[in-house]
Structure formats: C-alpha cells, structure tokens
C-alpha cells in the first residue's frame, strides 16, 4: 500500500526531470537555430527580466532592511556621541560640584547645629543685657519647623511685587533647613534697641530679625519682633555627592573633625 505513492512520486519526479531535460534540449536547439547573436540578445533580455524580478522580490527588501539598520545605527551612533559629549563635561561638572561643596562647607559654619541653638538663645539674652535693653518676651517654646523659605523655591506669598528674575528654578526635591522662630519683645532706649539690633545683625551665626514693630512710648521703645535662626541639616539629610568626590571630602571631614 505504501509503495504506490512512492512509485507515483518517483514517476512524477522522473517526468519532471525528463520534461526539464526536454525543455533544455529544445532551448539549445532553438539557440542553435537562432545563432549566437540572437540567442545572446534574447537570453540577455530574459536574464535581465529575471534578474529585475529577483532583485525586486528579494534584494530590494533586503537593501531596505539594510538601510533601516544603517539609519538605526546612525541614530544610535548620534545618541551615543551626544551621551559621550555629555560625559566629557563631567570633569568640569565635578570641579563645579567640588567648589559648591567647599562653599557649602564654609557656609555651613554659619548655621548652628541643633545642639547649639540654646547657646544662640543665651547669646541673644547676653546681647540684650549688654545693650541695656530688657527682654520682656522671649518665646523659644515653638518647635523647629522646616523653613518655608528654604523648603521650597516657590515665591513667597507676600504682597511684594513678584520679581520673576529673582525666583530660583523649581526643583522637585530640596533639603530644608530647620527654622526656629522665636517671638520676642524688648524694651529699651532707642540707642539700646538700635545697638541690640546691630549686634544681632553682626552675630557670627545666622540669625535675623523679622516682623518687627517698634513703638515709642515716652523715652522708651518697645520692640516686638521675631528672631529667626536655623539648624544645619544633618549629614544624613544631605544629598549624596558623586563617588569621585566622596573619598576626597571624607578625608576633608575627618581632617576638620580632628582639628576641632
């Protein structure tokens, strides 16, 4: 039973081969009859047609695919070139980063640490005493809050005219300073009050006076004000610095700690 299909297949194969051979013989006979020149012309036309068909069918898509690959390669090449160019600015960036970190380290000394806030408050009391003004109100009971002015770079809601050029660029994440607002009232002569305020202005740590109201009564002046000071953020809250600079600043911090 299984032989019949095989026999049919072999017959069909033989038939196909014999028809091919016959076709070939016919073609050669026709070519001999036509002569080499005509055969060459017809064969060239046939070959060109066949070649064009094959080219259109197979090679054109292949070439298109290759061109697409080439375009993709160019895109990647360009993208990588941009990325490399960007990376080439990294040394300058690191240098700038180093400078900012150094400046910050210097500026950070202007802020008292959290443990030092009480010392600052004592110093204010001392300044008042030295300037012969009396501190009638000194409310340091309010807990520290994140500074509204430093927690965000959004312009404040004050009624001052908005100055766009003074706004900092908005960033999604900021390290906030811990603000301590201390309502206070002092009473003293005008000279004493002015001297006290001058001393506050010249105090080595950052502390400033805001929301001040000076009322004159007889020869005395009553000054209601809010003293504002800030805690330095702890090292854990600070953003990480690049790996290239970590070792360098670690050494600097260690050296500073040893000096202290």
Partner 1 sequence: MKRLLFRREQRVEESPCGLAFDEEKGEAVIAEYASDGGFEIHRVPADERRAVNINASDVRTCVLGWNAHTSLARLPVTAESTDEEILRSIIEAANTDPNAAAFNFTYSRTPDRLLTLTQAETADIADTLRKANAWLDTQRATHLKQEDRARIRLETRTRCNMRLWLSSGVDVDTCNTAFLTVGAGGYAMGLWSPHSGYIYETEERFERGASLEMIAAHTRDVLIKFIAPSSLAQLGLDFVGRVVVSAVPALEDQLFQVLREAPELHHALIEGIRLNYSTDRATEGDELDYATTLALGALIETELPSPVDLSVAPQEQLEQFSESHKIIEVARVQKIARKARLAMAAPVIVIVAFLATTWFQNRAEALRISSNIEAEKQTAAQLKQATEDYESSKKNFGMFRSLLDNLISLRQRQPATHQLLRDLDTRWPRDASWYVAEVNVKGTNVEIKGRTRNEQAITAFAKTLEFSDGLFTNILTNNNVAGTSLAGTSATATPQSSNVIEFTVRANYSPMKTPGQVGTTATEASAATMPTTPAPAPSSAAPSQIVAPQPPFANGANTKPMNGTQR
User: Contacts with partner 1 in 87-126 (CB under 8 A)?
Assistant: 87, 90, 93, 96-97, 100-101, 103-104, 107-108, 110-111
Count other Cβ atoms within 10 Å, centred on residue 206: 15
- Whether residue 187 contacts residue 220, with contact meaning beta carbons closer than 8 Å, is answered with yes
**Binders of partner 1 in range 4-63 (CB under 8 A):** 27-28, 31-32, 34, 36-37, 39-40, 43-44, 46-48, 50-51, 54-55, 58-59, 62-63
Please give the size of the binding site for partner 1, defined by CB under 8 A: 100
The smaller minimum CB distance to partner 1, of residues 202 and 247, is found at 202
- Sole binder of partner 1 in the list 174, 183, 185, 252 (CB under 8 A): 174
Separation of first and last alpha carbons in the chain: 104
Query: Looking at beta carbons only, is 15 or 242 nearer to partner 1?
Result: 242
Closest CA to 193 of 117, 119, 135: 135
Q: How far is the CB of 75 from partner 1 (least distance, A)?
A: 9
Short-list 150, 135, 136, 155, CA closest to 180: 150
Restricted to residues 227-246, the positions that interact with partner 1 (CB under 8 A) are: 230, 233, 238-242
Q: Distances from the Cα of 202 to the Cαs of 18, 138, 186, 195, 197, in angstroms?
A: 113, 20, 18, 10, 9
**Count of beta carbons in the 10 Å neighbourhood of residue 34:** 14
CB closer to partner 1 out of 39 and 185: 39
119 or 153: CB nearest partner 1:
153
Q: Which residue, 10 or 213, has its beta carbon nearer to partner 1? A: 213
Choose which of 92, 173, 247, 258 interacts with partner 1 (CB under 8 A): 173
Task: Verify binding: residue 83, partner 1, rule CB under 8 A.
Answer: yes
For partner 1, give the closer residue by CB, 15 or 204. Answer: 204
Q: Where are the alpha helices (DSSP H) in the chain?
A: 3-34, 36-54, 60-88, 90-108, 117-130, 148-151, 190-201, 243-259
Contact 196, 221 (CB under 8 A): no
């Amino acid at each position: 039973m299984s032989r019949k299909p095989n026999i049919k297949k072999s017959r069909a194969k033989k038939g196909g081969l014999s028809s091919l051979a016959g076709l070939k013989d016919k073609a050669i006979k026709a070519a001999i009859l036509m002569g080499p020149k005509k055969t060459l012309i017809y064969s060239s036309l046939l070959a060109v047609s066949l070649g064009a068909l094959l080219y259109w069918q197979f090679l054109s898509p292949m070439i298109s695919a290759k061109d697409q690959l080439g375009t993709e390669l160019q895109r990647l090449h360009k993208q990588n070139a941009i990325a490399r160019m960007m990376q080439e600015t990294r040394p300058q960036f690191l240098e700038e980063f180093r400078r900012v970190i150094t400046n910050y380290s210097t500026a950070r000394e202007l802020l008292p640490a959290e443990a030092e806030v009480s010392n600052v408050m004592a110093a204010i009391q001392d300044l008042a005493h030295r300037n012969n003004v009396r501190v009638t109100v000194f409310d340091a009971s309010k807990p520290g809050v994140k500074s509204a002015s430093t927690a965000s770079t959004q312009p404040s809601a004050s009624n001052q005219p908005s100055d766009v050029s003074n706004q900092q660029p908005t960033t999604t994440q900021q390290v906030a300073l811990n603000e301590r607002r201390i309502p206070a009232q002092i009473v003293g002569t005008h000279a004493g009050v002015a001297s006290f305020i001058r001393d506050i202005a010249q105090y080595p740590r950052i502390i400033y006076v805001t929301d001040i109201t000076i009322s004159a009564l007889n020869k005395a002046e009553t000054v209601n004000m809010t003293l504002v000071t800030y805690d330095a953020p702890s090292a854990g809250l600070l953003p990480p610095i690049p790996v290239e600079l970590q070792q360098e600043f670690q050494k600097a911090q260690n050296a500073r700690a040893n000096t202290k």
